[in-house]
Amino acid sequence: MEFLIEALSRKSLIAAVKYAINSPLLFAFNTLIIMLTLSIAMFFKREVFALTTISVVWIIFGIVNFVILHFRVTPFSAVDFTLIKSAISVSSHYLNLFTIAMIIVAIFVVLIGLICLFRKAPVNEQHGHRKIIFSILCCLTLGVAIIVLHRSSNSVQALSTHYTNISEAYENYGFAYCFANSILDTGIKKPGDYSKQSVKKITKALKDEKNTDKRPNIIFIQLESFFDVGYEKNLQFSEDPLPVFHSLQKKYSSGLVTVPTVGAGTVNTEFEILTGMRQHDFGVSEYPYKTVLKSKTSESICTDLKKLGYSTHAVHNNEATFYGRNTVFSNIGFDTFCSMEYMNGLTDSPNGWSNDDVLSREIMKTLDSTSGPDFTMAITVQSHGKYDGIALDDPTIKVTAYEYYVNEIHEVDRMIDTLIKELSNRKEETVLVLYGDHLPILDIQKDDLSNANLYQTQYVVWDNMNLKKKTKNLHAYQLYAEVLDRIQIHEGMITKYHQQTKHRSKLYLTGLTTLSYDLLYGDNYAYDGKNPFKQTELQMGTEPVKLTSVQKTKSGYRVVGSGFTPYCKVYYDGTL
C-alpha cells in the first residue's frame, strides 16, 4: 500500500521504486505509519471489515492526492478537509459534468461495497482479553518503532524544521509521513525562550518614530497567478503581453517578491502581505485563514492604518466565503468587503472565473465612499487556472506556449492601465502596490526561469507623490512594512519590527516568530498582556444594500432601493 500511494503521489511506478531504494528509512517510516493505522482493525470483532475500510481510506487518500496534483502544485493534506466548501464551489472550473457524475458513482460503489462487506465479512465472537492484549502489544511495538526511527534518523526528523515547500516535502519525505504531520503540526510552535522578558527585549529595542502628517490612499492589488512571463526563457511573443506592468517597472519602485506558495495557496501569500507574519512558522501546509484567524483577531496593516484615521476596504470578484474571507477580514480589521455578490456588470472568462475589468470601478468606489484616507486590498481572479484545453478563437497575443494564460494576464494588464488612468485623474495622493500571489499551475521548472526560483513573483509600486525609485527584492511578509516606510508611516508593532530590524541579522526571523506566537497563541506580552485588536462589524459591499420602500402594483409589488445586484433575493412573508 505504501508503494501504491507513493506511485500515485509521484505519478510514476519507476519514481516510487527509486524512492524506496534511495530513501529506505523514509520508505520504512511511511510503511510503519500505515501499518499502525491498519493495526487498529485488530481491536474490532469485524476485523476484516475494519482492515478493508482503513485500507480503502488510504487508497482514496492516494487517489485524491493524484487527482489534486493534476490541478494544483500543492499535494493533498489535512487542511484540505477545512477547504471542502471552497473546493466544491470551484469544482465546476476544473471538472465537467461527466467527471463529477463518475466521482459520485465511484463513491456510491465504494459505499455499497463496504455495506455488503459489513454484512458478509466474518465476525470473531471469541474476541477475548488475550486478543485485546495482543492487539495492544502490536500497536505499542509499531508506535515505539516509529518513535525510535523518528528520533534516530536525521532524514526522518528533517521535515519538521527543514521543509522549504509542501510539494518538495511530500516528494522527499513521503505521503503518509507528510499527511500525518499536517494533522499533528498546526499553529506556531512555542519558542524555546518564550517569556515576558524575551518579548519585552524585542519590543523595547523598537523606537517610536513619528508618522508623517500625509495620509495618501493606499491600494494593494493581489494579482491571481500573475508573474512577469518575460522571465520564462523559452517563450516567444508576437507582442509584449504586459506593456503597462513593464513600463511601471521602469519608472517606479519594483523588485522580486518571494511568496510562500506556488501554483495554489493564494491566501497564504495574502496572509503574509496583510499581517507581516510568515506562513512558514505555521504547520506544514497550514492555512492560517482556516485555522487561527477564524476565531482570533490580529494586528495587520488594516489595524495599523485605522489608528491613523484610515478606512479599510477589501474588493474581490469571487465568492465572499471562499477561504472564509468573510470571517477572517473582520478579525484583521477590514471595514467593508465587496465580493462578487455585491457587484454589477460581472462577465466571465472562458474558463468560468469572473473577469477583472470590474475591479477598477469597484476600487474607485471604495475611495469615493469616505471623506478620509482609504486602504483598499483588491484581489483579482481572472487569471486563475485551469489553463489546459481552452482554445481562444482570436488571441491578441500569439505565443509559443501557455496561450490562454498569457492572454488572460494581458487582460489583467489592461485593467491595471484603466485603474492608473482613473487614479491619475483624482486629486488625492495615492500609492498603488501590484504583486503576483504565486506562479500559475503550469509546467514551469525553475530552470525555465531567468531568476531560477519558483517562489518569486514581481511587485511594483506606482505613486503620484514623486517617491524616489527603488529596486529591492523582498519577502511577501516584508512588503507592506517597506511600502509604509517609504511614505513615513511607522504604526504597529510588527510594522516597526520589519522597518527597524536588519533583515539579514541572525535574530530577525526568530524575533518575528516570537512576536507572531505572542500575538496569536501566547500571552500578548508585546501588548501589555491584552489583545488590543477587536473584530470589526464587517459591512458586506462598499455601499450597503438599502431597501427604501415596497410599492403595491396591479401585478404584484415593486421593491425600491439601492445597491441591488443579480445576486439579491427578495423574500415576501418568508417566501422567495
* Residue-wise pLDDT tens digits, 499-514: 999 998 889 999 999 9
CA–CA distance, 289 with 415 (Å, rounded to integer): 28
Phi and psi at residue 169, to the nearest 5° = -60, -45
Contact criterion met (CB below 8 Å) for 59 and 1: yes
Q: How far is CA 440 from CA 205, 255, 267, 277, 380, in A?
A: 40, 19, 14, 23, 13
What is the rounded distance in angstroms from the CA atom of residue 183 to the CA atom of residue 285? 10
Question: Which secondary structure element, helix H or strand E, spans residue 149, and what is its range?
Answer: helix 129-152
Cβ neighbours of 95 (radius 10 Å):
16
**For residue range 452-501, what is the model confidence (pLDDT) as tens digits?**
999 999 999 999 999 999 999 999 999 999 999 999 999 999 999 999 99
- 260-292 residue pLDDT tens: 988 888 999 999 999 999 999 998 778 899 899
User: Given this model, what pLDDT does residue 78 score?
Assistant: 81
CB atoms within 10 A of CB 131: 15
Q: What is the dihedral of CA 450, 452, 457, 458, to 10 degrees?
A: -40
Model confidence at 7: pLDDT above 60: yes
Q: What CA–CA distance (Å, rounded) separates 230 from 62? A: 36
d(CA 366, CA 335): 11
> Which among 493, 495, 492, 463 has a CA at the least distance from the CA of 478?
495
Range 275-293 burial, b when 16+ CB lie within 10 A, else e: bbbbbbbbbbbbbbbbbbb
Which three cell numbers, joined as nine digits, stand for 501? 530590524
Pair 378, 362: CB distance under 8 Å: yes
Q: Which residues contact 564 (CB under 8 A, 6 or more apart)?
A: 545
Does pLDDT of 156 surpass 80? no
Alpha carbon distance 304, 308 (integer Å): 7
Higher pLDDT, 247 or 263: 247
Secondary structure in 3-state letters for 343-358: CCCCCECCCCCECHHH
Rounded to whole angstroms, the Cα distance separating 437 from 221 reads: 10
- Single pTM value for the model: 0.85
State the pLDDT confidence band at 161, using cuts at 50, 70 and 90: low
Residues 341 and 328: their CA atoms lie apart, in Å, by: 17
Banded model confidence at residue 77, pLDDT cuts 50, 70, 90: confident
The enclosing H or E element of 376 equals strand 374-379
